[in-house]
Amino acid sequence: MPPTQPCSDLYRQLVDASPMGIVVIQDGRIVLVNRTGATLLGRNQKEIVGLPVQALAGSNDRRLSRAGLSELRWKRVKLAHASGEEVVVEARLIPFTYDQRAAQVLLLRSPAEERMEGGEIAVQYKTLVEKLADVIFVLDLSGRFVFLNPGFARATGYACQDWIGRHFTEILAPEYVLSVQERFRAGPPPGGVAQYEIEVIGKDGERIPVELRVTALRDASGREIGRIGVARDVRERRRVEEELRRANAELNMILNTMGEGVLVLDAQHRMVRMNRKAHELFGYSHAELVGKKYTFWCHPESLPVVEKQLAARVAGKSATYEARFLRKGGESFYAQVTAVPIIGRDGKFQGSIGCLRDVTHERELLRQVEELSEFNQRLIELAGVWIDVEDQAGRVLVWNEEAERISGYPRAEVVGSAAVWERLYPNSADRAKLRKEQRQQAGRKSQCTEGTIRTRSGNELVICWHSRALRLSDGRAGWLVIGHDITHQRLRERRLREYAAVIERMNQERTQLLSMAAHELRTPLTVIRGFVELMARDVDLPLRHREWLEKINRQVARLSDLVTNLLHVARADITSDRLTSKRVIIGPLITGVLRAVEPLLADGKNRVSVDSCAEIAVYADPKAVEAVLLNLVTNAITYTPPPGKIAVRVHDRGDTVQIDVADEGIGISPADADKVFTEFYRTPQARMVNHAGSGIGLAVVKQLVERSGGRVWVRSPGEGKGSTFSFTLPKYKQGMNDARTDLRG
C-alpha cells in the first residue's frame, strides 16, 4: 500500500518513520529526504532538499550515479557529512515514480545496522503500519472499509476482517453520523487533511474518543480512489488531561483552604499563582497581581531583606524570614515568610513558592510582653515591699531594693546563697519554723507568717511574710517571698492596747467615785429630810416658817431624786450591777409608781390615768421597770403645765409589751427626739419650765430598757403639743426562767 500522493501528511509521516535513510532524486536533484537520511548526513531535511545529488557524495566517490549503484544489492559509499568528515553508508538506488514523473529513490543504511529481511520498502511500511499504535484505515469512495491495521482491533476490540466491507458510519457514535457523513461526501480540503474529533463505539459498547485525520487516496494518475485515515484513541490523553485538571483543582482547593497566603513565583520572581488568602492578605485581586514582581508590595524598609532572600532562592536555599509589606490601601503589616526554591530536573532554578503569615498582631503582643517584663522588673525593683525569689534550697535569686533597705544586706552579699537567712534568723529553730509556715501558706491568699528578723545593724524588726510557689525561668520550682515591715504597726497596736487599758481603769474609777459620792450624799439628805419632817410636826411653828420648811422639804426631795438617778447611772456603768429578770405583773407596778408621784400632783391640777390592760406580765427586773416608769411619769408631770392630763397605757404586742406615757405638755421638736436620750441633753423649752433638770434621767431609762431587751422612743406632734414616751419589754411567757440574771456586756 505505498502512498502515491506526494507530500501527503501520512506519506511524510511514514517516510519519516522509516529506520532507513530515504532520498528521492529527480533530474539529478534531491526532492525529498526523510529524517533518517538527514540524520545520516548530519544535516536538517530542509538544507538537503534542492541540492544536486552529487553534493552528497564524499571525495572521489562517483558511485552515487546510477551506474555506480545497484537496484538490488547494498553497496558501500562515502558520503559528505555536515561535520566535514566523511561517513560510510550502504546504499541502493531504485527507479521510482514521484509526482507522476520518473525519479529514483536512494536508500541509505548505516553499515552496522542489522540487515533487513526482504529489503523492500513496502515490507517496512507494512511493518510500520502494523506496529503503529494508531489506527490506520482505508475507505473506498462509498465509505466502506477496505483496509484496517491491527491498531483498529486493539482500540475497538473487533476483529479487522469483520469490518472489511462495512460502512464507517456503523462504528460512529450516533450523534456524529450525520456531520461526519456530510464532510466525507464533501471530501478533504484540496491537497489537505480533514481533522475530526469524534467518538466511536467499541465492541463492549464503550465510547472511545478519537482524533481522526483523513486524506484522499489517489492512484498513479492522481484520480481519487478512496480515503486513507489515521485515528488516535485519545482516551488515555483525556484521562491524563482530566487527572491534571483534577489535580489542579485539588491543589487550588488546598491552597485556598490554607490559613496562610501562598505565592508561586517564576524564575524572574514574578507572581504566577496565589491562593485566596494571599489576596485577602494584600487586598489585591488575582488580575492585579499576576505577572507583578514580588518586590512591588515590599515596604521600602524591607526591600533589602526581600531582595537578599530572592537571591538566596536562586541559589537554591530555603529560608524563613520576616518582612514588612504594604496592602493595597497603603497600610503596612509584618509577615513571616517561609520560602523554598523550585528546582527543575535539569537542576535549574525555575521559581519559588512561599507561605506568608500576618504576624503583626504577634509582634505587637511580643512587644507588649517584653515591655511588661521590663515593667515587672522595674516594679519588683522599686516596689515598697521586700521581694525575694529563691530556689528550693532557699538560695536567693532576686533581692530588691526594699529587701536591701529593710534587712541592711546588699544584693551583692545575698544573691546566690541561702546564708542571709541564718543571719536574719540566728535561731535555727525559728528559721525552720518560719520556712515551714511559709511553705504551707504558699498559695493560700491573704495568709501571712510573722517573724522577727535581726537586721544587719542589729535592730529587731517584725516582718509579715507572704509566699507563693513559682516556676523559675529555667523550669525549676522556686519561691516568691514578699515581706512587709510591720514593726511600726505592731508598736502602735501595743500602745493602743495600753491606752485602752488605762482608759478602762479610769472609767472604772470614775464610776466608783460617782457611786461612792451618791451614797455619801444620800445619807446626810435622809437625815436632813428626817429633821425637816420633825420640825414640820411642831404645831407652834409660825406659818411663815412652815412655808419655808415646805420649800426646804421640796428641794431636799428633788436633791434626793437627783442623787438616786446619779446612783443609777453609776450602777449601770459598773459591771457588777446586774438586772435579774422575772415575771412582773405590770398593773400593780404602775399603781405603785403613781402613788409615789402623788405629792408632785398635790399642788397642781394635773391628772394621771392608767388604762385597763395592766394585767399583763413582763419578763424584766421589777426595780428597773419601776425606775423607768418613775422617770417617765415624773418628766410628764414636770413638763406639763397644769391643768393637763397624763395617761399611762399598756399594749399587748404579742412577744412584747409596750407601755406609753403620754402627756399634754411642752412637747419635743423632731430634731430633739433622739437627743433627749443622751446624757445631760436638755431641750431649750425644758430649761425654761424646769431650771433644776440634770439631763440624766432619760439616759438611764434608755440603758435600763435596752438591757432588759426592749426599746424606748418618743413621739411628739411638735412643741407645745405634748409628748408620748414609749418603751417595750419582753412579754412573760410560760416556761421562761423564773429569774434570769443579765450579766451585762
> How far apart, in whole angstroms, are the C-alpha atoms of residue 242 and residue 246?
6
Residue 440 and residue 429 in contact, taking contact as beta carbons nearer than 8 Å: no
Of the residues 398, 461, 636, 650, which one makes contact with ligand ADP according to CB under 6 A: 636
Q: How far is the CB of 502 from ligand ADP (least distance, A)?
A: 30
Nearer to ligand ADP, 400 or 565 (CB): 565
Nearer to ligand ADP, 283 or 695 (CB): 695
Of the residues 628, 696, 705, 729, which one makes contact with ligand ADP according to CB under 6 A: 696
Q: Are strands 656-662 and 645-652 parallel, antiparallel or unpaired?
A: antiparallel
Residue 351 and residue 267 in contact, taking contact as beta carbons nearer than 8 Å: yes
543-573 and 697-707 helices cross at what angle (nearest 10)? 40
> How far apart, in whole angstroms, are the C-alpha atoms of residue 579 and residue 556?
29
Q: How far is the CB of 463 from ligand ADP (least distance, A)?
A: 53
Helix (H) or strand (E) holding 689: helix 684-689
User: Is the backbone peptide bond immediately before 150 cis, with ω within 30 degrees of 0?
Assistant: no
The residue whose Cβ lies closest to ligand ADP is: 693
Nearer to ligand ADP, 248 or 669 (CB): 669
> How far apart, in whole angstroms, are the C-alpha atoms of residue 611 and residue 351?
115
Is 727 among the residues that bind ligand ADP (CB under 6 A)?
no
Is 698 among the residues that bind ligand ADP (CB under 6 A)?
yes
Is 388 among the residues that bind ligand ADP (CB under 6 A)?
no
Nearer to ligand ADP, 53 or 698 (CB): 698
Is 663 among the residues that bind ligand ADP (CB under 6 A)?
yes
Q: How far is the CB of 677 from ligand ADP (least distance, A)?
A: 8
Q: How far is the CB of 734 from ligand ADP (least distance, A)?
A: 36
Q: How far is the CB of 698 from ligand ADP (least distance, A)?
A: 4
Nearer to ligand ADP, 302 or 631 (CB): 631
> Hey, what long-range contacts does 647-651 have (CB within 8 A, 24 or more apart)?
647/608, 647/609, 647/610, 647/611, 648/590, 648/594, 648/608, 648/609, 648/610, 648/611, 649/610, 649/611, 650/586, 650/587, 650/590, 650/611, 650/613, 650/614, 650/616, 651/613
Nearer to ligand ADP, 273 or 702 (CB): 702
Nearer to ligand ADP, 272 or 692 (CB): 692
Is 726 among the residues that bind ligand ADP (CB under 6 A)?
no
Q: How far is the CB of 630 from ligand ADP (least distance, A)?
A: 11
Helix (H) or strand (E) holding 244: helix 235-257
Residue ranges of the alpha helices (H) in 92-234? 121-131, 150-156, 160-163, 174-186
Nearer to ligand ADP, 136 or 637 (CB): 637
Site for ligand ADP in 255-284 (CB under 6 A): none
Rg over CA atoms, the chain: 65
Per-residue 3-state assignment (H helix, E strand, C coil) for 303-365: HHHHHHHHHHHHCCCCEEEEEEEECCCCCEEEEEEEEEEEECCCCCEEEEEEEEEECHHHHHH
> How far apart, in whole angstroms, are the C-alpha atoms of residue 39 and residue 81?
9
Is 644 among the residues that bind ligand ADP (CB under 6 A)?
no
> How far apart, in whole angstroms, are the C-alpha atoms of residue 94 and residue 487?
129
Q: How far is the CB of 695 from ligand ADP (least distance, A)?
A: 5
Residue 728 and residue 710 in contact, taking contact as beta carbons nearer than 8 Å: yes
> How far apart, in whole angstroms, are the C-alpha atoms of residue 593 and residue 600?
12
Closest CA to 322 of 359, 353, 293, 295: 359
Q: Angle CA(259)–CA(263)–CA(269) in degrees, nearest 5?
A: 160
Q: How far is the CB of 508 from ligand ADP (least distance, A)?
A: 24
Is 641 among the residues that bind ligand ADP (CB under 6 A)?
no
Helix (H) or strand (E) holding 104: strand 101-109
Q: How far is the CB of 607 from ligand ADP (least distance, A)?
A: 15
Is 695 among the residues that bind ligand ADP (CB under 6 A)?
yes
Site for ligand ADP in 335-354 (CB under 6 A): none
Is 463 among the residues that bind ligand ADP (CB under 6 A)?
no
Task: Say how many residues touch ligand ADP, by CB under 6 A.
Answer: 19
Q: How far is the CB of 706 from ligand ADP (least distance, A)?
A: 15
Nearer to ligand ADP, 48 or 627 (CB): 627
Nearer to ligand ADP, 103 or 636 (CB): 636
Read off the C-alpha cell for 223: 484520480
Read off the C-alpha cell for 102: 520518473
Nearer to ligand ADP, 209 or 695 (CB): 695
Q: How far is the CB of 705 from ligand ADP (least distance, A)?
A: 13
Nearer to ligand ADP, 406 or 696 (CB): 696
Q: How far is the CB of 521 from ligand ADP (least distance, A)?
A: 17
Is 564 among the residues that bind ligand ADP (CB under 6 A)?
no
Nearer to ligand ADP, 379 or 692 (CB): 692
Q: How far is the CB of 605 from ligand ADP (least distance, A)?
A: 17
> How far apart, in whole angstroms, are the C-alpha atoms of residue 154 and residue 148?
11
Of the residues 275, 723, 726, 728, which one makes contact with ligand ADP according to CB under 6 A: 723
> How far apart, in whole angstroms, are the C-alpha atoms of residue 462 and residue 454?
9
Per-residue CA distances from 441 to 387, 390, 391, 480 (Å): 17, 16, 17, 12
For the sheet containing 332-343, what is the strand order?
271-274, 261-266, 349-358, 332-343, 319-326
Is 38 among the residues that bind ligand ADP (CB under 6 A)?
no
Is 697 among the residues that bind ligand ADP (CB under 6 A)?
yes
Q: How far is the CB of 662 from ligand ADP (least distance, A)?
A: 9
Is 108 among the residues that bind ligand ADP (CB under 6 A)?
no
Nearer to ligand ADP, 172 or 628 (CB): 628
Nearer to ligand ADP, 245 or 721 (CB): 721
List CB contacts of 193: < 8 A, sequence separation 6 or more. 8, 9, 213, 214, 215
Partnered with residue 14 across adjacent β-strands are none
Q: What is the DSSP string of 515-547?
A: HHHHHHHHHHHHHHHHHHHHHHH-TT--HHHHH
x/- letters, 492..521, toward ligand ADP (CB under 6 A): ------------------------------
Is 451 among the residues that bind ligand ADP (CB under 6 A)?
no
Nearer to ligand ADP, 631 or 728 (CB): 631
Site for ligand ADP in 664-693 (CB under 6 A): 665-666, 668, 676, 682-683, 686, 693
Phi and psi at 457, nearest 5°, equal -85, 5
Helix (H) or strand (E) holding 31: strand 29-33
> Could you tell me which stretch among 90-98, 400-408, 426-434, 658-666 binds ligand ADP (CB under 6 A)?
658-666
Q: Are strands 396-399 and 21-26 parallel, antiparallel or unpaired?
A: unpaired
Residues found near ligand ADP in the complex (CB under 6 A): 631, 635-636, 639, 663, 665-666, 668, 676, 682-683, 686, 693-698, 723
